Amino acid sequence: MPDFKRGQVWRAKRPKAAGPFFAPLINDRQIVWVDSLGTTIQYDSPTVAPGRHYPKVSREAFEKWAGREVTDELPDCDWQKWDDTDPSKNK
């Protein structure tokens, strides 16, 4: 059972391209809030449209979606770009 904390970035078990068509990003999720009981998680992601509220999901739903933490692998203050030439880099 993973320990979800604010600021962590998680990659999906099955990553997909998200964001702009000409510069797609990996659909990672950054945790922006966890309730005091740890049952609800709010996140930011390239899948969240600009100007929209950050989605909230149950811990169980987030665990089902999450594959691994990638916080330390990301470029500074940016989302990871989707690599069409070598899909193995998107995992």
Q: What pLDDT digit, counting tens, does each position of 54-82 carry?
A: 999 999 999 999 999 999 999 888 999 99
Grade residue 39 by pLDDT with cuts at 50, 70 and 90: very high
Averaged pLDDT, 3-31: 94
pLDDT at 28 over 80: yes
**Residue 17 corresponds to which tokens in the numbers above?**
């391209």
